Structure 1
Amino acid sequence: MTDGATAPPLVRQGAAWEVLRVFLKLGVSSFGGPIAHLGYFRDEVIQRRKWLGDTEYSDLVALSQFLPGPASSQVGFGLGLLRAGPVGAIAAFLAFTLPSAALMVAFAYGAPLFQGVIGGGILAGLKIVAVAIVAQAVWGMARVLTPDRVRASIAVLAAACALLLPGTIGQIGAIVLGAIAGLLLCRDSVNPAMAMVRFPVTRAAGITCLAVFVGLLVALPVAAAATQWGGLQPFDAFYRAGALVFGGGHVVLPLLQAGVVDTGWVSPDQFLAGYGAAQAVPGALFTFAAYLGTLSTVGPGGVVGAAIALTGVFLPGFLLLTGVLPFWNVLRSRASAQALMRGANAAVVGLLAAALYDPVFTTAITAAGPFVLAVICFVLLIVWRIPAWAVVLVGAAGGGAMSLFTG
C-alpha cells in the first residue's frame, strides 16, 4: 500500500441476524461481570469469527473505558454497529441484554434463584469460570498488544496503578498514563498507512447523538418535576446513573442505590436481594435496573417499569459512544494518535491483569479446590480449545459438585 492511500475497512459487513445469533449466545453464557465479558467477546468475535483484529478490538475497549456507561455493553454495541450498522448495534444490545433482564424480572416477581447448597455451589463455579475466561483474555491480548519491552512495562505499570489506586481513579488513570507513555515512547512502531476500522456513523449523526445526550441530561430532571407522569421520574434516575458512571459493572450500584433506595422506591432488603441474584445471571450487571424498575413504587412498575429502567440506564452510554466514534476514526489514522493508542492498548492489558487478580481471582479462588477447577477451565480454553459456553457448564457442574462434598 502506498503512502496516502485510503486503507480498506478491516471488517466485512454482515447481516443483523448474524449479530443477533452471536450475541444471543453470548447473552446466555457470559458470566463473570464486565471484564469477563470482554474475554467472551474476544473468544467469539475476534478468535472464532475474525470480525476484526486484537488491536482494533482493544482500541474499542479503551475508548469504552474512557466513556461513561456500561463498558462491556458499549463494546458489544460497537461490535454490532461495526458488523451490521445501526440495526446490528441494536441487535447486539437486545440479544446480549434481554436474557439476563428477563431473569431479573422473573426474580422480581418472586422466582427464587440460586438458593441452597447446590445453587450456591453453581454460583461459585460460575465465578471460577470467570477466572479462566479473564486469564485467557490477558494471555491472548498480551501476546498481540505488548510484544516489546516498552509496552510490556506500560502494561505492568497500568496494572499497578489500577490495583493501588481506588476505583475509577485507578482505571482511568492507568489508561491516561498508558496513552501518554505511548505518545512519548511508542512513536517508532507506528504505521501511518495501517488499515482502519470504519464505523458507519457520520459526523452529523455523531454530533446529533452528543446533543441528545446532553439535552436529556439537562431536560429530564426538569420534565420529571413538572409533569405528573410517574414514568419520567424513574427514567430520569436511571438515565443519570448510566450517564455518570465510568467503567460500568459494580460501579453503578451506589448511583442506583441513591436513585431508588434513598428515595424510598425500593426497600434496602429488595435492593440487596436483587444484587445477589444479579451475580447469578449472565450478561451485563446493568440489567439489575430491570429488577429495580419492576419493583419501583414510582412509575408503572412491572414489565413496563423494567423497560423504562433498562432504556434509561443503557441509553446515555450508547449515545456517547456513537457520538464519539466518527471523530475517533479520523484521529486514529494519525501517527501520533496511533502511538497514543498503542500505549492505551498496553494499559488495557494491564487493567485486565489487575482485574484478573482483584476482584475476579480474590472473589472466586477461596481454597485449593476452586483453584484446581479454574486451572482445568483455563486448560480447556487454551489447550483443548473448548468453546467458552461449554467451559461455563463444566465450571457450574464442578462448583455444584464441590458444594456437595464440602457441605
Structure 2
Amino acid sequence: MKKSWEIFWRFLFLGCISFGGPAAHIGYFQRTFVQKLEWLSNDAYAKLISLSQILPGPSSSQIGFAIGLQKAGLAGGIAAFLGFTLPSFILMYWLAVSVNLDTPANWLISVSRGLKLLAVIIVLDAVITMFRSFCKDRLSVLIMLLSILLLVIYKSFYTQMLVLLISMLIGLANNQIPAKSVNISQILKKLSWLPLLLFTSIFLISLGLNQYDSFAGLFAIFYKNGSLVFGGGHVVLPLLQTSVGDTLTEQQFLFGYVAAQGVPGPMFTMATFMGAQWMENLPLSGAIVATFAIFLPGYLLILALNNSWQSLVQHPNFIGASQGINAAVVGFLVLALYDPVIISAVHNYIDLGLVVIGFLGLKLFKPPILLLISIFILLGFI
C-alpha cells in the first residue's frame, strides 16, 4: 500500500507538469524514474519505450503503467494511471461542462477559430514526423498510399481495421530483419493469457455494439478505437472521427482534440471531453466511461506482455508487423489532416498564411505548446 501511494503521488506531480505530449512525457519519466529514483535501468526503460511504440494505446501512459506494475504489481500500475491522468481528466471535464459549443458565444467562436488553425499546425507536424520515422523505404510509402486510397474509396472504422490487417501482413511477408536467438515458444509461455483473452473478448463484443445513446455504446466506441491507436496519440484523431462523427459536431470534436494538446498529461483524455459532451445529461459518468474505455486496451496488453515484452520487442516478425502497421497509420493521419482539420480551419489566404507562419515558427523556435495556444487564441479574436 505504501509503495502504491508513493507511485500515485509521484505520477500525480508529473501529471500536473507534463506538458508537451508523449515525447516530453518520456523525458520526464526518464529523469524521475531512471536517473533520480533508479526504479529501472536505462536499458529496461529503452525497451519499454520500444514496446509502447509497437503496441496500440497511449504510449507514455503505457510506460507509466508498466513502471508502476514493475514496482508494486497491479495496484502500482493502477496508481500510476490514476495519478498521471487525474489532472488532465479534471481539466478536460471542466472544459466540457463549461463551454457550450452547440450555440457558442462570440468569444468562444473566436477561441475555437484560433484553436482550429493551431490544430492544422499540430497535425501537420505530426504527419511529417511520423512520415520520417515510419516511411523510410518504398514499401512503407506504398503501404501509406494504399491506406489513403482505401479510405478515400470508403471511409469507415471497419476499413481502417482492414487496412491495418493488410499492412501487418505485408510487413510480415517483407520483413528483412535478421532473425535473432528469440524463441517464440518461450515468449508464448511467458504471456499472461487472461488479460489477452479479456482484451480480445471485449474488442469483439465492442464491434457488435452500436448503441450511440447508451453507456454500453459509448464504452464500445472508445474501447475499439483505443485498441487500434498505433503510432501515438495523434492517430486517435482519424480513428475517432469515423466513429463519433454522427454523435458529436465537428466543432466539439476538434475543440476536444486541440484542448488535449494544451493540458498536462496524456492526450487520450480528449475522450474525457468527448464522453462528457456525448452524455449531456450525465456528463461525469460519460467522461469516466469514455476515459476508462480508451485507456483499458493498452493496459490489458501491457499486463498480457508483462513477463515477455523484453524478448518480444526483439522478435523480427513482431518488428516487421509493427513497421507495416505504422506506415498505414501515417496514411490515416494524412487524410485526417485534410478532413476534418484543414477543411474546418482554412477558409481563405489569411488563414493559410497564419498556418504557414505558425508552422515555420514551431519548427524554427520550438516554442512551448502553451505559448502557441495563447498566440492562436489571440489571433482568433483579431
Q: Does the pair score TM above 0.5? A: yes
Q: Using the TM superposition, name which of 313-322 and 386-395 deviates more.
A: 313-322
Percent identity at matched positions?
17
The letter of the residue matching 2:301 is V
Equivalences for residues 136-175 of structure 1 within 5 A: 136-175=125-164
Deviations 1:315-352 (A, max 9, x none): 34433332233249365442112111111111122222
In 2, the alpha carbon distance for the partners of 1:138 and 1:211 equals: 29
Aligned to 1:88: 80
| 1:367 correspondence with 2:348 | yes
Deviations 1:62-110 (A, max 9, x none): x24xxxxxxxxx45542431454412222233233221112223347xx
Deviations 1:42-66 (A, max 9, x none): 4533578777698655423xx24xx
How far does residue 384 in structure 1 lie from its aligned partner after superposition? 1.0
Contact residue 192 and residue 334 of structure 1 kept, 8 A: yes
Aligned to 2:73: none
Aligned to 2:318: 337
Aligned to 2:373: 392
Deviations 1:149-173 (A, max 9, x none): 2222222222333333212133223
In 2, the alpha carbon distance for the partners of 1:81 and 1:127 equals: 32
Aligned to 1:123: 112
| 1:313 correspondence with 2:305 | no
How far does residue 279 in structure 1 lie from its aligned partner after superposition? 7.2
Equivalences for residues 244-263 of structure 1 within 5 A: 249-253=240-244
RMSD, aligned α-carbons: 4.2
* Partner SS for 1:358: helix
Aligned to 1:206: 195
Which consecutive residues of structure 1, in runs of 5 or more, have no partner in the other structure? Answer: 1-13, 30-39, 65-73, 195-200, 218-232, 258-270, 297-304, 402-407
Which consecutive residues of structure 2, in runs of 5 or more, have no partner in the other structure? Answer: 1-5, 31-44, 70-76, 183-189, 207-212, 229-235, 261-268
Deviations 1:247-278 (A, max 9, x none): 65344537868xxxxxxxxxxxxx99977975
Contact residue 8 and residue 83 of structure 2 kept, 8 A: yes
Contact residue 271 and residue 294 of structure 2 kept, 8 A: no
How far does residue 280 in structure 1 lie from its aligned partner after superposition? 7.7
How far does residue 285 in structure 1 lie from its aligned partner after superposition? 4.4
How many residue pairs are counted as aligned between the two chains? 320
Q: Using the TM superposition, name which of 309-318 and 374-383 deviates more.
A: 309-318
In 2, the alpha carbon distance for the partners of 1:107 and 1:137 equals: 27
How far does residue 397 in structure 1 lie from its aligned partner after superposition? 1.4
* Partner SS for 1:179: helix
In 1, the alpha carbon distance for the partners of 2:381 and 2:286 equals: 33
- Change in Cα spacing, 1:101 to 1:391, as seen in structure 2 (3 Å) is same
- Change in Cα spacing, 1:273 to 1:159, as seen in structure 2 (3 Å) is closer
* Partner SS for 1:308: helix
The letter of the residue matching 1:90 is L
Contact residue 242 and residue 316 of structure 1 kept, 8 A: yes
In 1, the alpha carbon distance for the partners of 2:114 and 2:86 equals: 26
How far does residue 291 in structure 1 lie from its aligned partner after superposition? 4.3
Match of 2:273 among 279, 287, 290: 287
Contact residue 52 and residue 60 of structure 2 kept, 8 A: no
In 2, the alpha carbon distance for the partners of 1:193 and 1:386 equals: 45
The letter of the residue matching 2:276 is A
In 2, the alpha carbon distance for the partners of 1:134 and 1:191 equals: 36
Aligned to 2:123: 134
- Change in Cα spacing, 1:119 to 1:320, as seen in structure 2 (3 Å) is closer
- Change in Cα spacing, 1:148 to 1:364, as seen in structure 2 (3 Å) is same
* Partner SS for 2:176: helix
In 2, the alpha carbon distance for the partners of 1:212 and 1:156 equals: 32
In 2, the alpha carbon distance for the partners of 1:279 and 1:145 equals: 23
Contact residue 242 and residue 317 of structure 1 kept, 8 A: yes
In 2, the alpha carbon distance for the partners of 1:175 and 1:280 equals: 26
In 1, the alpha carbon distance for the partners of 2:273 and 2:255 equals: 11
Aligned to 2:54: 59
- Change in Cα spacing, 1:151 to 1:252, as seen in structure 2 (3 Å) is closer
- Change in Cα spacing, 1:286 to 1:252, as seen in structure 2 (3 Å) is farther
* Partner SS for 2:365: coil
In 2, the alpha carbon distance for the partners of 1:78 and 1:235 equals: 25
* Partner SS for 1:188: coil
Aligned to 2:72: none
Q: Using the TM superposition, name which of 315-324 and 17-26 deviates more.
A: 17-26
In 1, the alpha carbon distance for the partners of 2:105 and 2:252 equals: 13
In 2, the alpha carbon distance for the partners of 1:276 and 1:134 equals: 11
How far does residue 289 in structure 1 lie from its aligned partner after superposition? 2.6
* Partner SS for 1:398: helix
Aligned to 1:263: none
